[in-house]
Amino acid sequence: MRASVKTRLRRGLRFARTRARELRMIGKALASTKHPILVHIIPMRQCNLACTYCNEYDDFSKPVPLPEMKKRLDLLADMGTSIITISGGEPLMHPELDEVIRHMRRRGMIAGLITNGFYLNRERIERLNEAGLEHLQISIDNVVPDEVSKKSLKTLDGRLEMLSEWAVFQVNINSVLGSGVKDPEDALKIARRAVELGFTSTVGIIHDNNGQLKPLGAREQEIFEEIMELGKRSFSRFNEFQHNVARGRKHNWRCRSGSRYLYICEDGLVHWCSQQRGYPGIPLAQYTPEMRHREYFTEKFCAARCTVSCVQQVGILDNWRDPQNLKPMPMTPPAPQPQLVQIGQGRGDS
Ligand code: SF4
Ligand code: SF4
């Protein structure tokens, strides 16, 4: 069903305001390298699903209490952070998520959310509208659910229609191509449906378990290019890295994680990214500007084969300057973690 005139007006207004804030974010990032541009924060590690490829969830952990979440958000705001994306686990399972989003907006940061979408309904979408959410991303793995993933077009299409009708925030649908994906045509069907519903669409590329860059097959590459074209409203179109990954080429770039990009786990520790948890593994409250500065100049050993596209997009703003000449050196011994992982498949964006 089509969105009402009122919803379309609210959507247009929020889009214009968010775009203006994004342009300011780019200006600020180009003018100074001293603040984080993008932070992923985890308020809830627990997930209602159990996708077999995922290393970013459990089925038992409790939500991070709201006062603790606000404290972490305040620390990030004080650092000058521009964008915060809430991720998980499944963040919609957090009982006070609306207030978390509200607090991000109160502190002037752009508010995003990555969800598997299963808890969305009209009432929940309205609450996210009211809280001030600006971006939402759902990753859809297949057209029909299978033993690997239930995040399928079939299970989620009704929720996508509700988003199309009621959401005033921007919605992006991410599909996947590469190793382990049964039918590459699924990604195209998902992307076309996303565009039909008025959303942006992106595609992630996954690799086999040894993390090697393997070029996509000929048909997969065609599909990849077509989806990139469909997703031309998304900033990811500027990401040449994704094209290199699709062709199996190593990418020469400067990963600024730990500085311009931070991953804050449910325990409030700072990590390079979801796939390099443990580096540096320092509590956010103790993470100083000097530590961020050091990470800015630290060359990441995993950069050439990295599949984490959001950090790549942040990297674009600094790739042209400041060569990295420091070697990775955890500032404290990495805390033992049950699920310390190295390079993953870059697919677990909920
Ligand atoms: S995996 Fe990618 S994003 Fe993460 S630290 Fe390595 S290069 Fe950076
Ligand atoms: S990929 Fe997302 S939905 Fe699937 S188990 Fe992981 S966190 Fe949950």
Query: pLDDT tens for residues 199-249?
Result: 999 888 776 554 455 678 888 888 888 888 876 655 555 566 777 777 777
Distance (Å) from CA 42 to ligand 1 centroid = 18
Residue 350 has what pLDDT?
52
Of ligand 1's listed atoms, the one at least distance from the Cα of 274 is 4
Of ligand 1's listed atoms, the one at least distance from the Cα of 343 is 1
Rounded distance, CA 106 to CA 90, Å? 23
Q: Which residues line ligand 2 at a C-beta cut-off of 6 Å?
A: 47, 49-51, 54, 56-57, 88-90, 116, 348, 350
Query: pLDDT tens for residues 103-149?
Result: 999 999 999 999 999 999 999 999 999 999 999 999 999 999 999 89
Query: pLDDT tens for residues 298-321?
Result: 999 989 878 788 898 999 999 999
Q: Which residues line ligand 1 at a C-beta cut-off of 6 Å?
A: 255, 257, 272-273, 275-276, 300, 302-303, 306, 308, 311, 343
Task: Specify the residue for token string 């996210």.
Answer: 128
- Assess contact for 314 and 261: CB atoms under 8 A: yes
Of ligand 1's listed atoms, the one at least distance from the Cα of 306 is 2
Residues 6+ apart with CB under 8 A from 232: none
Distance (Å) from CA 339 to ligand 2 centroid = 15
Position 7 confidence tier, pLDDT thresholds 50, 70, 90:
very high
Residue 287 backbone phi and psi in degrees, to 5: -90, 105
Residue 168 has what pLDDT?
97
Among protein residues, the one with the nearest Cα to ligand 1's atom 4 is: 273
Residue 332 has what pLDDT?
54
Mutate which of 53, 54, 86, 120 for ligand 2? The one with the most ligand atoms within 8 Å of its CB, which is 54
Paired tokens of 184: 């590459």
Report how far Cα 102 is from the mean position of its chain's Cα atoms. Answer: 19
Q: Decide if domain 5-315 falls under CATH 3.20.20.70.
A: yes
Among protein residues, the one with the nearest Cα to ligand 2's atom 6 is: 54
Residue 95 backbone phi and psi in degrees, to 5: -70, -20
Instruction: Pick the ligand that lies closest to the CA of residue 278.
Output: 1
**Can you give the three-state secondary structure of the chain, one letter per residue?**
CCCCHHHHHHHHHHHHHHHHHHHHHHHHHHHCCCCCCEEEECCCCECCCCCCCCCCCECCCCCCCHHHHHHHHHHHHHHCCCEEEECCCCHHHCCCHHHHHHHHHHCCCEEEEEECCCCCCHHHHHHHHHHCCCEEEEECCECCCCCCCCCEHHHHHHHHHHHHHHCCCEEEEEEEEECCCCCCHHHHHHHHHHHHCCCEEEEEEECCCCCCCCCCCHHHHHHHHHHHHHCCCCHHHHCHHHHHHHCCCCCCCCCCECCCEEEECCCCEEECCHHHCCCEEEEHHHCCHHHHHHHHCECCCCHHHCCCHHHHHHHCCCCCCCCCCECCCCCCCCCCCCCCCCCCCCCCCC
Mutate which of 40, 45, 55, 56 for ligand 2? The one with the most ligand atoms within 8 Å of its CB, which is 56
Rounded distance, CA 243 to CA 35, Å? 28
Of ligand 1's listed atoms, the one at least distance from the Cα of 303 is 7
Query: pLDDT tens for residues 47-68?
Result: 999 998 888 999 999 999 999 9
- 49 beta partners: none
Domain boundaries along the sequence of the chain = 5-315
Mutate which of 48, 116, 138, 181 for ligand 2? The one with the most ligand atoms within 8 Å of its CB, which is 116
pTM, entire model: 0.90
CA angle 241, 246, 247 (to 5 degrees): 100
Among protein residues, the one with the nearest Cα to ligand 1's atom 2 is: 306
Q: How many CB atoms sit inside 10 A of residue 190's CB?
A: 28
Position 181 confidence tier, pLDDT thresholds 50, 70, 90:
confident
Of ligand 2's listed atoms, the one at least distance from the Cα of 151 is 3
Of ligand 2's listed atoms, the one at least distance from the Cα of 47 is 8
Rounded distance, CA 145 to CA 148, Å? 8
Distance (Å) from CA 330 to ligand 2 centroid = 28
Q: How many CB atoms sit inside 10 A of residue 301's CB?
A: 14
Q: How many CB atoms sit inside 10 A of residue 166's CB?
A: 21
Residue 58 has what pLDDT?
96
